Amino acid sequence: MTEHTRLSAADTERTAPTIAPPTIADVYEARRVIGAYLPRTPLHHYPMLDQLLGAQVYVKHENYQPIGAFKIRGGINFMAHLPEDQRRRGVATASTGNHGQSVAYAAQLFGAQAVIVVPENANPVKVDAMRSLGADVRLLGDDFEAAKRHGARVAEAEGLRWVSSGDEPHLISGVATHTLEILEDLPDVDVILVPVGGGSGAAGAALVAKSLNPAIRVIGVQAAASPAAFLTWQARAHREAENRTFAEGLATGAPFMMPQRVLWQHLDDFILVDDDGLRQAVRFYLEKAKTLSEPAGAAPLAAAFQIKEQLAGKKIALILSGGNISPEQLRQCLA
């Protein structure tokens, strides 16, 4: 296999996916699969956030998942559908943390080997969590894009099944179940705000909301310091960008095209928030909701504060995608 081909294995976002994105029927099937392993996460209403935003605010607590993040839904759904011979060979992926934890958790659950390649500056809380789940964690590359390239080489060299963190339909349909639960608990929700890193969570949220009630507005939120997904959504074409945010869950320098195509069809709006806004939103969650969010998980709250005039009087759901914040990040947010 040539160098170009190896890099393309990790950077599948450069070309159109050959596998179709999931449908709402796939999300219902994913819920059936995941239900055997995970309980529902709560959707809590917070009057202090109501006062802050001038809206009725509900928070979907994916930070309460066993790995502290929504990605576990996709990892379990993916591994449950993986053929047994591929499970025996093992899997490899690249991650900034939460996707890697989900693959590690699901691999342990189904008795598979998992190699997770992470950037050399990865969140140590997430790295330790992946290792505690039995994964072979390798710190390779300066950032996520470099980690993907290294991960593709590892998969090829060791005969492992490569797991893209974005262009895998079972991952998208799995994480989409968080929005299915939101609509079951709060069917009259007006607006759902969801973080965008690779885009699987936002694609799943938009797919479910628009399939079940097209009147619901779905808004994606990305870090202004790492805007590749936003630029791709805006241009309806692949765009790369600088990747400088401190919020590793949003730190992607290139888009994944399978979730992008779902977002092009279903996402109503896309907002960029700066890193200071993310830090402020982590503090808001601590002060107003007594809950711990990582910076990426706080992105919807940061965006809601930024556009609160548009949300006034509306019933909104914020997807708090994860709570895996490092002590150093927390100190920065509280400083």
- Residue 71 known to be catalytic: yes
Q: pLDDT tens-digit profile of 91-139?
A: 999 999 999 999 999 999 999 999 999 999 999 999 999 999 999 999 9
Q: pLDDT tens-digit profile of 300-328?
A: 999 999 999 999 999 999 999 999 999 99
Predicted local confidence at residue 19, as pLDDT: 87
Q: pLDDT tens-digit profile of 265-311?
A: 999 999 999 999 999 999 999 999 999 999 999 999 999 999 999 99
Tell whether the model's pLDDT for residue 253 goes beyond 60: yes
Predicted local confidence at residue 267, as pLDDT: 98
pTM of the model: 0.94
- Residue 321 known to be catalytic: yes
Predicted local confidence at residue 241, as pLDDT: 97
Instruction: Give strand pairing partners of 44.
Output: 59
Q: From the candidates 60, 71, 148, 210, which is the catalytic residue?
A: 71
Angle at 187 between CA 184 and CA 190, to 5 degrees: 135
Task: List Cα–Cα distances, 247 to 276, 294, 304, 332, in angstroms.
Answer: 11, 8, 18, 12
Tell whether the model's pLDDT for residue 9 goes beyond 50: no
Tell whether the model's pLDDT for residue 10 goes beyond 50: no
Pairwise CA distance, residues 114 & 125, whole Å: 18
Number of residues that make up the chain? 335
Pairwise CA distance, residues 160 & 151, whole Å: 10
| DSSP class of 40 | P
Q: Which contacts qualify for 137-145: CB closer than 8 Å, 24 or more apart?
A: 137/100, 141/117, 143/119, 143/243, 143/251, 143/253, 144/94, 144/95, 144/96, 144/119, 144/243, 144/248, 144/251, 144/252, 144/253, 145/11, 145/243, 145/252, 145/253, 145/254
Domains located in the chain, CATH noted:
25-69+170-334 (3.40.50.1100), 72-165 (3.40.50.1100)
- Share the mean pLDDT of the chain: 94
User: Would you say 113 and 92 are in contact if contact means Cβ atoms under 8 Å apart?
Assistant: no
Pairwise CA distance, residues 127 & 257, whole Å: 27
What is the DSSP track for 50-118?
Answer: HHHHTSEEEEEEGGGSTTSBTHHHHHHHHHHHS-HHHHHH-EEEE-SSHHHHHHHHHHHHHT--EEEEE
**Which band of pLDDT confidence, cut at 50, 70 and 90, is reported for residue 13?**
very low
Pairwise CA distance, residues 113 & 76, whole Å: 14
Q: From the candidates 165, 226, 321, 326, which is the catalytic residue?
A: 321
Q: pLDDT tens-digit profile of 179-193?
A: 999 999 999 999 999
Q: What is the mean pLDDT of residues 2-20?
A: 47
**Which band of pLDDT confidence, cut at 50, 70 and 90, is reported for residue 5?**
very low
Predicted local confidence at residue 11, as pLDDT: 45
Predicted local confidence at residue 15, as pLDDT: 44
Instruction: Give strand pairing partners of 118.
Output: 139
Tell whether the model's pLDDT for residue 39 goes beyond 50: yes
